[in-house]
Structures are given as C-alpha cells and as structure tokens.
Chains A and B, each alone.
Chain A
C-alpha cells in the first residue's frame, strides 16, 4: 500500500493488518503518555478543501501522537479562493518538503488524480460523495470490538445513501470482511443500481432493523442536495428516524453507529444517541487509533 485512496483499492488482509496495528495504538493512546516517536522524521500536510471537525482533529491528533510534523490548510482561508488549481496548490506545499498528504476534497476522484501527478503519499479523508476510507475502517474496527468477527454479521446502513461517502466505503469494507450489508432509506436517496454492489435494498426501516445486528445511521447531507429529495425533515424523521419506541419494539441489543455530525431529532433521537447501545463515542476514540495505524503502515513502507 502506497496510498489510501479508497477501500475499493485495498485488500481484506490490508484491513486486518490495519486493525492489528490499531489495537496496539489503542493501547498507546490510553496510557498516561500517549505519544510514540515512530514518525519523527515525517512531515504531513492536512489539506481540507471541505469543512470538517472530527476527521481533521482526529487526523491531527493521530499524526501528533506519532510525533510527525504537521501543517494544516483549509480552503476557506487560502489561495484557492484566488483561483489556484488543485495541482498547483499541492505542488507548492510539497515544494516545502512534505512527505504525506491527508486530503479532503469535494470532488470525487480528486485523490486518484493527485496520486498520478505527485510523489507524496496520499490519504483520502473524504472525496465528495465517493469514499471516506478511514471512517469505514474505524466503523468496522468498532464493530470488530463488539462482535469479534464479521462472517455472517448483518449491518444496515440507513439514510442518505446517495450523497454519503461513508456508505460507499462501509459497503466495500464490510463486504471485504465477509459481512452482509443492507441499505435502507427513501427511494430518492438510494442510488438506482446500488444492488449491483451486492447489497440488499429496503425502504422499510423497521424490517431492516429486525434483520440487522448493527445499524449505521447516516445524516441527511442537505449541503449536497441540489433539489428536494423528500417532502420535509419531519416526514423523513417519522419514516426513517431511529427513536426509543422502535428500538424497544425490536427486543434485542442492536448496536448503533453514527459517523457524525448528528442531527439530533432527525435521523436519531437524543435518547437513542445517548443510550448504551450507541457506540458513537467509541467510534471517535477508535478513529484516532485507526488513523495512527494507517499513517504508520503507509509511512513504514519504503
């Protein structure tokens, strides 16, 4: 592995080796001294052409806990606004001797494009509606902690599948690991041919939850929706929102994931998001360990 452009491009054994390394880093970040010197001679640029809180802080902490030197960049406060191209921006940053690039970009495929034109190693921190590999890795790592293994595990992904990079990366990762995946949401928010990826499709939340061992509740990505895909948030919430009532009616310990940011009261109620069954904050903790593992394994490959 030279880059992490998407889950699509890595193998099942790559994923397992990331998990095993992440186990060790999880130990490290739970010690009083949370830092190791592995990446002390590495400089990493975090290029965020799109807004982010969790991913950006998580990557930055992961880099700092590996002792890397870190520079941050966000599009809103940069020369991109003055009309500079992506390649020029990145090449200018690389001219200052940067070894790795962690990038989030609104255009799907921006990382693949970049990987063909620059020397540095690239980690995808989200490209538009395409992939968000480290999120899928940390989701699966969290599921692994709960369930142990993936063979036969049933995972539902509920919500705005069309506009979600988390959904696509999760589908690839879960399938590579041997889990069964079902997507669920209003027909307008599920891509027409998603069945060709080998996932089940359902428009019925309750039926999906009865089927699933774990559910990943996605946010409605209003910022990516150019037209109205459903009549109102209220209606969406009534049909596809996860609340205590549905959860109790299942009479089982469904594990609930959410990639954040949560829109409380839309896709998930506060009561459910803060319940014992939700592992949302575990996901965030695991995110740092998983990103440390990805950085370590990529940097270690000469």
Chain B
C-alpha cells in the first residue's frame, strides 16, 4: 500500500489562496455570487474558503451556505445501509446568483449532480461552477467538470483519496492511497 501526500510542505495553504484569487478574478466583489459547500466533507473546505475570501474582501459580505444532498442522491435503495442526512443551512435565495459549489473531492460527479438538483429548492441560479480540492480525472460517470481545481490526479477505482482538514480534527493533509 502506497500513501502519497498530495500537498506536502504546507502547499495546501498556497493552493487555497490561489483558488480564492481565481474566484476573485472571475467574480470580482462577490456581489452576485454565493458559495455553497456540500455536506458532509465539503463544508470544512467551504468554511476555509469563505474565511479567506472575507479577509480578501474587506467591507463585503460573502454569502455562504451548506447544502446536504442526501435526499437527492441517485443511489438510494441501492446501498446496503441507509444514507444518513446532514444539515442544510442556506439562509438566502440563489435566484439569479452565480453559485460556486464546493466539495473536497470530485470523483464520479454524482454528488455534484445531486447538488444541482438539491440547490433548486433555493431558486434558479444564473450560473453554477464547481470548486474541488482534488479532481480524480478519468473517473467521471457523468458529464461534469470542475472550474476551480486544487490538484488533478490520475487514479484507479481501487485508490482512495482522503482529505483531513484541521476543522475536522485532522492536520491539513490530503493523501492518495494506492492499493
């Protein structure tokens, strides 16, 4: 078993800052743009991005929400155990806004599809883009791509990507484990 550190030597902070600047480059002062992080594991990343952006945009408010997609997944009744839902906390409407979906790993694309379904409960967005810390290229099962990507890796089905952030009790490490 091989364990690969995807962001060695504190590179994670640099990457997060780069992603924030890319967001600023595209969306300016975030007047018409909102962040929606996906439960359960995208929210730690989402909170970090939202803090960084707030610091980069003094005097501005960056709207941030957390979206649970459990009830919108397409694998309900196809798994052995019941999927446990998490809390959705979106205190604003996304009608006519640019939405940035945030998740830790982009893999099959199915979670993102469910998220696009789930967010419609809060309005019809003007546009939707996806930010992911890790893009597992060549593993997509749906025509979905990320716009803001931390790192792109080529993986096999048997590989595993784990994101351990401070907020979740980890120490800011992202590992690719090869079987």
Contact = CB atoms under 8 A, between A and B. Distances in A.
B153 interface: no
B78 interface: yes
Interface of B: 68, 70-72, 76-88, 117, 120-122
Contacts of B72: 36-38
Contacts of A228: none
Given A24-B87, A38-B72, 8 more contacts: A20-B84, A24-B88, A27-B88, A33-B121, A66-B71, A301-B81, A302-B78, A302-B80
B82 to A, nearest CB: 4
Interface string A53-96: 00000000000001000000000000000000000000000000
Contacts of B86: 24
A297 B85 CA distance: 10
B77 A299 contact: yes
Interface string A23-61: 110011001110011110110000000000000000000
A270 interface: no
Interface of A: 17, 20-21, 23-24, 27-28, 31-33, 36-39, 41-42, 66, 296-297, 299-302
A302 B78 CA distance: 7
A31 B78 CA distance: 28
A31 B121 contact: yes
Nearest to A27: B88
Contact of A300 (B68, B83, B88, B117): B83
Given A36-B72, A37-B71, A27 B87 contact: yes
A31 B84 CA distance: 20
Nearest to B86: A24
Contacts of A27: 87-88
A300 B82 contact: yes
Contacts of B121: 28, 31-33
A28 B77 contact: no
Nearest to B76: A38
Contacts of A66: 71
Contacts of B79: 300, 302
16 contacts: A20-B85, A24-B85, A28-B71, A28-B88, A28-B121, A31-B122, A33-B121, A37-B72, A39-B76, A299-B76, A299-B77, A300-B77, A300-B82, A300-B83, A301-B82, A302-B77
> Of B81, B83, B85, B122, which is in contact with the most chain A CB atoms at under 10 Å from its CB?
B85
Nearest to A67: B71
Nearest to B71: A36
Contacts of B81: 300-301
Contact of A21 (B80, B84, B88): B84
A51 to B, nearest CB: 32
Contacts of B71: 24, 28, 36-38, 66, 296
A296 B83 CA distance: 10
Which 8 residue pairs are nearest across A and B when measured between Cβ atoms? Answer: A300-B82, A36-B71, A24-B85, A33-B121, A38-B71, A31-B121, A38-B76, A297-B82
Given A20-B84, A24-B85, A24-B88, A33 B120 contact: yes
A14 to B, nearest CB: 11
A46 B84 CA distance: 26
A41 B84 contact: no
B7 to A, nearest CB: 33
A202 to B, nearest CB: 40
A11 to B, nearest CB: 15
Contacts of A24: 68, 70-71, 85-88
A299 B72 CA distance: 14
